[in-house]
């Protein structure tokens, strides 16, 4: 419904991956968290950082829309989101809407929608943690939260490295390593009648993978550098008792450099959204709005 609503009151198939599940393993990728969902098939071509696709209810891989706090992460070049390069450090929960949702969300929502909801600080806290695994895999996290007098501030930093595994079993197969680092920042004011927030997250790194070269008729090692950033400014105003105005300005930038060929792809999406929500009664609400998107 594009409005915070109890799942019991929504006439659609919705499941929620809670923060408790996400916190069980900071090193888990988005594909790992989604793999247990019914009617959703997460296919990953290898270990950490390798190409990942989602197939929901039998639809194609570009028929599932991926959102982060309302920002579209699917690129219009391929219709896919770079799932293997998205970090899960500051995620509060993941909402999975199964079934066609193009009426509400437009392109790419033929099979369903996966909405990633980021954390908002609720109390003062600070933490540092590390998780280790096989193949020299580790992830280190550091963060701090502030929440007082309707103000909140959140800072996160993370580093993930892995020697990776061999994707194929041919004689000269090599491991596909992965290196990622990033940070996120969120601040805002949340009052009953008005509020705003600014959110920025950035991830960058290097991914090594093995592919088949049809020219040399042999497997070869390839590498790519990646960087993705999501910046969002949101504001809301409770104009009168039953009328709420919401606005959003966001930028999603996805960069990928194929090192062997020195090919660089940069995708930038700027979105501007204005919504007017009118509560008619406890069970009915009208939402009017417009979203404008610039692509480069």
**In whole angstroms, what is the distance from residue 132 CA to residue 141 CA?**
12
Global confidence as pTM: 0.89
- Chain-wide mean pLDDT for the chain? 90
Which pLDDT does position 71 carry in this prediction? 94
User: Per residue in 92-132, pLDDT tens?
Assistant: 999 999 988 888 888 889 999 999 999 999 999 999 999 99
User: Per residue in 234-291, pLDDT tens?
Assistant: 999 998 889 999 999 999 999 999 988 879 999 999 999 999 999 898 878 898 999 9
User: Per residue in 153-188, pLDDT tens?
Assistant: 999 999 999 998 887 777 778 888 999 999 999 999
- Is it the case that residue 37 has pLDDT exceeding 80? yes
- C-alpha distances out from residue 35 to 17, 21, 55, 149, 290, Å: 11, 13, 10, 39, 34
- Is it the case that residue 203 has pLDDT exceeding 80? yes
Write the Ramachandran bin of 39: left for phi over 0, alpha for psi from -120 to 50, otherwise beta.
Answer: left
**In whole angstroms, what is the distance from residue 279 CA to residue 287 CA?**
9
CA 271 to chain centre: 16
Which pLDDT does position 78 carry in this prediction? 80
Residues with Cβ within 8 Å of residue 229, at least 6 apart in sequence: 200, 201, 202, 203, 251, 252, 253
Beta-strand relationship, 71-72 and 64-68: antiparallel
Which pLDDT does position 234 carry in this prediction? 97
| Beta strands per DSSP E along the chain | 13-17, 40-44, 52-56, 64-68, 71-72, 91-98, 112-118, 125-133, 137-148, 151-162, 178-190, 194-213, 218-240, 243-258, 263-279, 285-295
Contact (CB, 8 A) for 234 and 200? no
Q: How many CB atoms lie within 10 A of CB 234?
A: 18
């Amino acid at each position: 419904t594009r409005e915070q609503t109890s799942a019991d009151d929504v006439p659609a198939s919705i499941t929620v991956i809670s923060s408790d599940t996400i916190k069980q393993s900071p090193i888990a990728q988005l594909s790992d968290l989604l793999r247990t969902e019914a009617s959703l098939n997460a296919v990953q071509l290898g270990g950490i950082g390798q190409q990942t696709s989602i197939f929901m209810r039998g639809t194609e891989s570009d028929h599932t829309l991926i959102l982060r706090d309302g920002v579209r992460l699917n690129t219009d070049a391929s219709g896919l989101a770079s799932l293997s390069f998205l970090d899960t450090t500051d995620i509060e929960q993941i909402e999975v809407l199964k079934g066609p949702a193009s009426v509400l969300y437009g392109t790419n929502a033929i099979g369903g929608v996966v909405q990633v909801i980021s954390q908002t600080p609720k109390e003062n806290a600070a933490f540092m943690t590390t998780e280790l695994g096989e193949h020299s895999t580790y992830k280190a996290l550091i963060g701090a939260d502030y929440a007082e007098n309707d103000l909140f501030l959140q800072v996160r930093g993370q580093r993930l490295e892995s020697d990776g595994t061999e994707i194929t079993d041919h004689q000269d197969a090599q491991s596909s390593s992965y290196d990622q680092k990033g940070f996120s920042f969120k601040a805002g004011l949340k009052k009953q009648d008005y509020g705003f927030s600014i959110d920025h997250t950035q991830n960058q790194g290097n991914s090594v993978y093995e592919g088949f070269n049809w020219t040399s008729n042999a497997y070869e090692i390839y590498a790519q550098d990646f960087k993705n950033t999501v910046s969002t400014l949101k504001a809301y105003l409770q104009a009168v008792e039953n009328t709420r105005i919401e606005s959003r300005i966001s930028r999603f930038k996805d960069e990928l450099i194929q090192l062997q060929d020195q090919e660089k792809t940069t995708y930038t999406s700027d979105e501007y959204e204005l919504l007017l929500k009118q509560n008619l009664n406890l069970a009915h609400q009208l939402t009017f709005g417009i979203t404008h998107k610039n692509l480069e």
